């Protein structure tokens, strides 16, 4: 493998990390607030379809992303209503949300679009002047589409919001000890609603990045489980945006590497190479868990009831 090929793999892998990264960043907000949303894949599918359909009809991928984020917000509210207001078990609510998103996006696609068609007006690469000419980093970091830039810019932003703002402190507080937060006058339910809405918005954007930038197509169930991997990436990243980004990059670069190895004719069974990203992720997960012990938000997965405090 030539150095040039290594750089190409890295550039392709960075772009391919986008839907994982956006979805996992969104999930990080929910989980830091104590809500475990397994429905990300369904949110992504709704975002992918909504964004695709709007871009197909209007020719504007930006409008598509906006609609995808709005749909994501609504899906986040739906999750919040069932798991925060009605206190339904989070795992079951999430699976329900996933199935709802899968079913509705399929139904809408079959009714409104019917057959796969390519999107002529998706997000193409936008090389950033000067920076994209940099050796090595130029092509990897500065010759991507806007969804990629946005996703990676969100990493420091998410870190800042979670760690340096009052809102972030509230999120962490209701995720660690909702009783204590409540006694300090923080509205636990409202914070969890907002965290789930942020998660939905980013999940919708993740879906849109898939249908508007990465593939420029919509097909039913096109996420093929990316949302579930995103949930795992949150654990992998130790509930920190930087860790999540590292996990998303590792997963998608190794995935890209295995595609390149196959095309280069490396004589390994494709089934074996296909396992590579998952195996690498499990190994890294084991190492990561040993490295940082700050770990799980204490109230993760537990509906908060004031009377039980």
Partner 1 sequence: MNKRWIAFLMAAALVAALVLGGGAAQAQDKLRIALISPSAQNDLAWSQSMADALKAVQAELGADKVELTISENLFRVPDAAAAMRDYAAQGYDIVIAHGTQYGASMFEVAAEFPEVTFAWGTASDYGEEEGLTNVFAYEARAEEGGYVNGVMAALLSKSGVLGVVGPVNAGDAKLYIDGFTAGAKATKPDIDVKVIFTESFGDTAKATESAKTLISQGADVLTGSAQQVPGAITEIQAAKGFWFGTQTDQAAGWEDTVVCVQVFDWTGVIKEIIALREAGTLGGKAFAISLESGLTMKFNEKLSIPDAVKQAAEETINAIIAGEIIPPGSPRELEPAATPDN
DSSP structural state of residue 128: P
- Whether the Cβ atoms of residue 270 and residue 154 lie closer than 8 Å to each other: no
DSSP element (H, E) containing 127: strand 126-127
Does 57 sit near partner 1 (CB under 8 A)? no
- Whether the Cβ atoms of residue 25 and residue 158 lie closer than 8 Å to each other: yes
Task: Pick between residue 12 and residue 90 the one whose CB is nearest to partner 1.
Answer: 12
Pick the stretch among 21-29, 211-219, 281-289, 294-302 that binds partner 1 (CB under 8 A). Answer: 211-219
Task: Pick between residue 270 and residue 295 the one whose CB is nearest to partner 1.
Answer: 270
Task: Pick between residue 82 and residue 214 the one whose CB is nearest to partner 1.
Answer: 214
- Whether the Cβ atoms of residue 41 and residue 103 lie closer than 8 Å to each other: no
Pick the stretch among 141-149, 178-186, 208-216, 300-308 that binds partner 1 (CB under 8 A). Answer: 208-216
- 3-class DSSP string for 209-248: HHHHHHCCCCCCCCCCCHHHHHHHHHHHCCCCHHHHHHHH
Question: Quick one: how many helices (H) and strands (E) in the chain?
Answer: 13, 2
Sign of the alpha-carbon dihedral angle for 279, 281, 284, 286: negative
- Pattern of binders to partner 1 over 250-269, x per CB under 8 A? -----xx--xx-xxxx----
State the nearest-atom distance from the C-beta of 222 to partner 1, in Å: 4
Judged by CB under 8 A, the number of residues near partner 1 is 35
Which residues inside 100-159 make contact with partner 1, applying CB under 8 A? 106, 110, 114-119
Residue of 2, 271, 287, 294 that binds partner 1 (CB under 8 A): 271
Interacting residues with partner 1 (CB under 8 A): 8, 12, 16, 19, 106, 110, 114-119, 210, 214-217, 219-224, 226, 255-256, 259-260, 262-265, 270-271, 274
């Amino acid at each position: 493998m030539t150095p040039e090929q290594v750089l190409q793999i890295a550039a392709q892998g960075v772009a391919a990390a986008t839907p994982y990264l956006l979805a996992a960043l969104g999930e990080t907000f929910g989980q830091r607030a104590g809500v475990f949303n397994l429905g990300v894949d369904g949110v992504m599918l709704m975002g992918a379809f909504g964004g695709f359909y709007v871009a197909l009809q209007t020719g504007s991928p930006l409008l598509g992303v906006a609609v995808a984020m709005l749909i994501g917000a609504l899906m986040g509210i739906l999750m919040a209503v069932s798991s925060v207001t009605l206190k339904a078990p989070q795992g079951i609510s999430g699976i329900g949300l996933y199935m709802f998103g899968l079913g509705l996006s399929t139904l809408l696609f079959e009714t409104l679009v019917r057959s796969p068609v390519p999107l002529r007006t998706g997000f193409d690469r936008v090389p950033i002047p000067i920076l994209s000419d940099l050796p090595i980093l130029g092509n990897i970091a500065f010759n991507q589409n806007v969804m990629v830039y946005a996703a990676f810019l969100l990493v420091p932003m998410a870190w800042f919001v979670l760690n340096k703002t009052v809102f972030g402190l509230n999120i962490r507080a209701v995720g660690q000890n909702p009783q204590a937060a409540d006694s300090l006058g923080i509205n636990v339910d409202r914070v969890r609603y907002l965290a789930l809405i942020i998660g939905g918005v980013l999940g919708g954007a993740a879906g849109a990045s898939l249908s508007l930038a990465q593939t420029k197509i919509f097909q039913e169930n096109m996420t093929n489980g990316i949302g579930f991997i995103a949930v795992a990436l949150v654990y992998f990243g130790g509930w920190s945006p930087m860790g999540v980004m590292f996990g998303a990059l590792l997963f998608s670069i190794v995935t890209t590497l295995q595609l390149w190895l196959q095309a280069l004719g490396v004589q390994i069974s494709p089934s074996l190479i296909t396992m590579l990203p998952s195996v690498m992720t499990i190994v890294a997960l084991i190492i990561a868990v040993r490295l940082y012990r700050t770990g799980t938000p204490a109230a993760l997965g537990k509906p908060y009831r004031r009377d039980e405090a």
